[in-house]
Amino acid sequence: MYDELQALEKETGTVLTNSPSVRVGYEAVDQLPKEQHESPMLSLDKTKDREVLREFIGNHQTLLSWKLDGLTIVLTYENGELVKAVTRGNGIVGEVITNNARVFKNIPLKISYQGRLVLRGEAIITYSDFEKINESIQDVDTRYKNPRNLCSGSVRQLNNEITARRNVRFYAFALVSAKGVDFHNSRAAQFEWLKEQGFDVVEYRMVTAETLDEAMDYFSTAIVTNDFPSDGLVALYDDIAYGDSLGRTAKFPRNAFAFKWADEIRETRLLDIEWSPSRTGLINPVAIFEPVELEGTTVSRASVHNISIMKELKLGIGDRITVYKANMIIPQIAENLTASGNITIPHICPACGHETEIRKVNDVEALYCLNPDCAAKKIKSFALFVSRDAMNIDGLSEATLEKFIARGFIHDFGDIFEIEKHKEEIVKMEGFGEKSFENLRNSLDKAKETTAARVIYSLGIPNIGLANAKIICRHFDDDIDRIRGAEEEEISSIDTIGPVIAKSFTEYFSSEENNRKLDHLLGHLNIHKEEKKGPQIFQNMNFVITGSVEHFANRAQAKEFIESLGGKVTGSVTGKTTYLINNDKASGSSKNKKAKELGIPILSEEEFLELAEKK
């Protein structure tokens, strides 16, 4: 039957997406290499106002399609075969995930077109598959929060057998290039041609300003029953030449516009304020309210963040409040309709019973626990230690850590790597079993191979984030003994590390107990030097980033990009600053003024990216 299938495919020139003749075996890799896109993938300008969208469309034939909520992927085909798949990443540099793309449910590995084809699309996991996968996870605390997070993790697996089990699907939304094909100057013709090649294409309607309402009504009705995640719509001019002639701004292409659904707001009643301690001693107020349905899920709590916001909202038990999901994900209180303001701020910590105090920092009031041995601080410290940017240990949620601490399994970080001695008890715990324990053991084995920066960050030293940890470790050539034995003056002299950070750092390592715990931990680890990724074109250059960014998801991502190329990012403009990055170059901000005073060039993101390309 297989031979017959191959003969038929050769005779007809047609190979179906899921044909066994093109399905690949599973393969595991050590890492996902990074690669720069041929051209930056810009964000889209967006609106929640239908009339703004209508004004953009005007009398132009426009494709209105779903804005899928997954992970953007760029596919490249040559001689009819898939040769490369790269994630969007930060829009400039993405990760090569070709092995994983080969096991997506609906990507054709062979197509009839023999030229070089580049297209973009969204990788998604349907709601129904998401629910099935979550139901298969015994530990409720480790289940995925939404399909987008699950898809992001699935697409970026090192072992594509895991990706294959997740039922990832790909929907094309843009054809970048296909030389020699006449698309009659039409984006719609490109979409139809992609369908003929075997791709699933995002659903679209052709509209003008006059016909927009009918299409919008269709999409707003369909989204309620769709099995795939979507966070809005995309309008794209059908006329390719006209759209391309518009060019782009520093932030957005001018041939497309995104429409975001207006936030779904529900009224409910505030039942209580729960006070949630953190590893730093900060106690966050969390609003508990009567459950409401928002964006397809049941919501009953939202963080209020700090005392200042709680006072501003005048929250009181029994108040009528309105809630929504910021970016369709994070529950927030929009308004307090009754504003009774009767909340009492606790004088003792809910976790340990010790005294609390209100501190005001930068005009923001927040509540803190004064007990250095607070149990909540301990749990949160372990949670940071196992987090992705720290030791990256899967299978240890806060709830699981709390259980392990309560049973006396772990007292310091090194104990986590000795969890094997408690296996007999753990496999009998609710939500655990042989398989869960085996997964945890494998995760611990992987975590043992790490870097000095991850170790330093994982310790939870006040004011030491991952970026600062990397800078300090780089200065001491990743030598842990030199790092913890350094004097405050030497730490402070490191470029971008100030006296506050230096004091926190040296105070931590002046503790005999902290050093004992670190020695215990180091006995389980193999520390490798941080490998430099890509050409270090920004070596010995200092950048400051201010204002909003568009080519990157956020400023942290822009910072990561600069650091990956050898540069440093600081928080303030000084004589050592090489460039200030600000899209609003005419701004009268203090950073712009300081840069002009010191003669430091101010670059827009566009100019910064051009600088990176030239180097």
CB 457 within 8 A of CB 469: yes
Name residues whose C-beta falls within 8 Å of residue 551's C-beta, 6 or more positions apart in sequence: 40, 42, 43, 90, 91, 92, 251, 558, 605, 606, 609
Nearest to 351 by CA among 368, 329, 332: 368
- At which residue do the structure tokens 């992705």 appear? 388
Per-residue exposure over 55-89, b if at least 16 CB sit within 10 Å of its own CB, e if not: ebbeebbbbbbbbbbbbbbbbbbeebebeebbbbb
The string of DSSP codes covering 247-281 is -B-SS-BSSEEEEEPPPP-EEEEEEEEEEEE-TTS
Strand blocks (E) in 418-464: 449-451
CB 243 within 8 A of CB 62: no
Q: Which of 34, 67, 314, 585 is catalytic?
A: 67
Quote the CA–CA distance of 378 and 486 in Å, as a whole number. 26
Crossing angle, helix 50-57 and helix 212-222, to 10 degrees?
A: 130
Q: Strand, helix or coil at 176?
A: strand
- At which residue do the structure tokens 């015994």 appear? 138
Nearest to 480 by CA among 522, 447, 448: 522
Q: What is residue 239's DSSP assignment?
A: B
**What count of Cα atoms within 13 Å lies in the side-chain half-sphere of residue 16?**
7
> What separation in angstroms does the CA of 47 have from each of 51, 56, 244, 260?
9, 11, 21, 6
User: Terminus-to-terminus CA distance in the chain, angstroms?
Assistant: 55
**What count of Cα atoms within 13 Å lies in the side-chain half-sphere of residue 47?**
12
Quote the CA–CA distance of 389 and 539 in Å, as a whole number. 24
Strand blocks (E) in 99-180: 117-124, 169-178
Crossing angle, helix 147-155 and helix 127-135, to 10 degrees?
A: 80
Diameter over CA atoms, the chain: 81
CB 121 within 8 A of CB 169: no
Q: Counting Cβ atoms within 10 Å, is residue 548 exposed (0-12), middle (13-18) or buried (19+)?
A: exposed
The residue type at 93? V
CB 37 within 8 A of CB 92: yes
Quote the CA–CA distance of 21 and 7 in Å, as a whole number. 11
The residue type at 403? K
Look up 110 and say whether it is catalytic: no
Structure tokens at 146: 């939404």
Positions marked catalytic: 67
